[in-house]
Structure 1
Amino acid sequence: MTSNANNITPRNTVLNADCISAMRSFERASVDFILTDPPYVTRFRDRQGRTVTNDDNGRWLRPAFNQMHRVLKDGGFAVSFYGWNKVDLFMDAWKAAGFRVVGHLVFRKRYASSARFLRYEHEQAYLLAKGNPTLPAHPIPDVLDFPYTGNRLHPTQKPTEALTPLIEAFTKPGELVLDPFCGSGSTLAAAQKLGRDWIGVELDAAHSETANRRLAWLQQRGRAAA
């Protein structure tokens, strides 16, 4: 979809919406960095029986990453978590959108999230590039620690401590970070703490409300400290 003069990319807000529709309303090349943890297309169910919206199909994969590529600035980066047993679907969507795969990240856990043929003690993500970005002056390691969150706010909650180095490495203060599958807002919280602007989109109304409350508390805390 071609952007027009009426398209505006909001800042510092969480949208309860389908991310594909939401991003279509954003201005082209208006986002500096994307950091997201989309559904893994694995029909995930945690020990409490909680599930993840749209984790039972991959129909959203291509259109969602197509819109991410459209709204990302040329020379920008995106980091996407993915499910290892569905990597073919994710890789197809990334490449079809126009992203180049330029790195792989492993997040090491001190616990096993599950165990079958192996004990699963890591998460993983790919570093994607739009165009030909400038090499970072101080590249971060491709293996990072992944503290346990307890998944209190979301069934697949990511720790802000694992996301902070990525935002710090690939953005500058005041730049805009997008998470189109923002869940409970971990990416947004990390961006807020680092002085970046942020925009989150979340389809599930309850998780969207959790993210809104979380970010409102951080913003109030920041104003009180100023």
Structure 2
Amino acid sequence: MAHNARPMHIKEIASYFPDKPESTIRGRLYRELKDRCEKVARGVYLFLDGEGSAVVVEGDGRNLSIFDDESIDAIVTDHPWEDIKSNSGTNRNFVSGYEETTFRYNLEDFKEKARILKPGGFLVEILPAENESNFKYLYEIKMMAEKCGLLYFSKVPWKKGVRVWNTGRKSKNTEDIMFFTKGKARSLRPDKQRGGNRKMSGTAYLLPTEFDFQPASPQKRIHQAEKPVELYEAILEAITLPGEIVIDQAAGSGNLGRAAMRRGRIAVLFEILKENVKKIRENLSIQEIPLMC
């Protein structure tokens, strides 16, 4: 495991798998947790390397009931947003089953996000650029977040490199990345005026005017809404510290997990589609270990 990942008591580990007795989890860890291990419970896979780790959970990421109050450092997610007009005929309809998983957030979603985030922690929502069919929904997201104590922090466009889509009313090549905080933002940014190890409220570095990362080509991508690993790395560096826990409620390609493993973070990735879970496991380059417990 990452040298800076925090130790966990067996009871805490077992609490993440309520359908398994503690003795089963203990036995599994003793037998399989050596240099790396994968399957720790039905639909739950653990990936380790020298830098960080990722847990992949086959299930609905909107259900956050397994997490304690104020137990998570950050949430970064690109939910499969429901927009019949914008999605129709675009690359978001290429994979079978994707359209059945699209949804619109409701207030309960943001109550749960706020419940599990630590005070000052960041919520990052990757969202479509504003257009004539989604502008009301994007406003609703901000209002629902605010009602739950998640304060609007900033918005940074993701510029998709040199690729441009000439569809709809205007050419486009961006998505919006919205940053929220649970109450006042935690202190991550070095305080240059006071010096030393002092930190001031905000992200670890001043957010840029845009994130500029080329997406994978249609021939090489593994998910229709795939985001670059480098984009996730930039976000993680801004809102978390090494060894901290970040959740992706709709993992898709699993690239947040790859970024976390590179940057020494611990990612919990939820993915509802079984075929996508298989692709995430392949993306994270781990061979399956048969479940023995």
Q: Separation in 1 of the partners of 2:167 and 2:226?
A: 19
Counterpart in 2 of 1:101? Answer: 152
Task: For 2:159 and 2:113, locate their aligned partners in 1 and report how far apart those are by CA, in whole Å.
Answer: 27
Residue matched to 1:78: 123
Q: Describe the superposition over 1:72-102 as per-residue Cα deviations: whole angstroms up to 9, x where unpaired.
A: 1111111101232231232233223321001
Alignment correspondent of 1:68? 113
Query: Could you tell me how far 1:216 is from its partner in structure 2?
Result: 4.4
1:183 Cα offset (Å): 0.9
Q: 1:194 to 1:26 in 2, by over 3 A?
A: same
Which ranges in structure 1 are unaligned for 5 or more consecutive residues?
219-226
What is aligned with 2:246?
177
Distance 1:62 1:146 in 2: 32
Segments of 4+ in structure 1 off by > 6 A? none
Q: Which deviates the most, 110-119 or 158-167?
A: 110-119
Query: Could you say if the C-alpha distance between residues 190 and 135 of structure 1 is closer, same or farther in structure 2, counting changes exceeding 3 Å?
Result: closer
Partner-residue secondary structure (3-state), 1:75: strand
- Counterpart of 2:211 in structure 1 is 144
1:113 is displaced (CA, Å) by: 3.5
Q: 69, 73, 81: which one pairs with 1:32?
A: 73
User: In structure 2, do the counterparts of structure 1 residues 13 and 96 end up closer, same or farther at CA, with 3 Å as the change threshold?
Assistant: same
1:123 to 149, 152, 175: 175
CA distance in 2, matches of 1:192, 1:94: 29
Q: Which consecutive residues of structure 2, in runs of 5 or more, have no partner in the other structure?
A: 1-11, 18-45, 47-52, 191-204, 288-293
Q: Structure 2 length normalisation: TM-score? A: 0.65
Q: 1:190 to 1:106 in 2, by over 3 A?
A: same
- Could you tell me how far apart the structure 2 residues matched to 1:62 and 1:113 are? 32
Query: Among residues 192, 195, 199, which one is paired with 2:268 in the alignment?
Result: 199
- Cα distance in 1 between the residues matched to 2:15 and 2:183: 23
Cα pair 1:20 1:63 within 8 Å, conserved: no
> Which amino acid in structure 2 is aligned with residue 87 of structure 1?
L
What is the alpha-carbon distance in structure 2 between the residues aligned to residue 102 and residue 114 of structure 1? Answer: 31
Contact 2:188 2:239 in 1 (8 A): no
Superposition deviation, residue 69 in structure 1? 1.4
Aligned residues: CA RMSD: 2.4
CA deviation map 1:139-173 (0-9, x unaligned) = 13131102121252111101111121110121111
Percent identical across equivalent pairs?
23
Give TM-score, length-normalised by structure 1.
Answer: 0.83
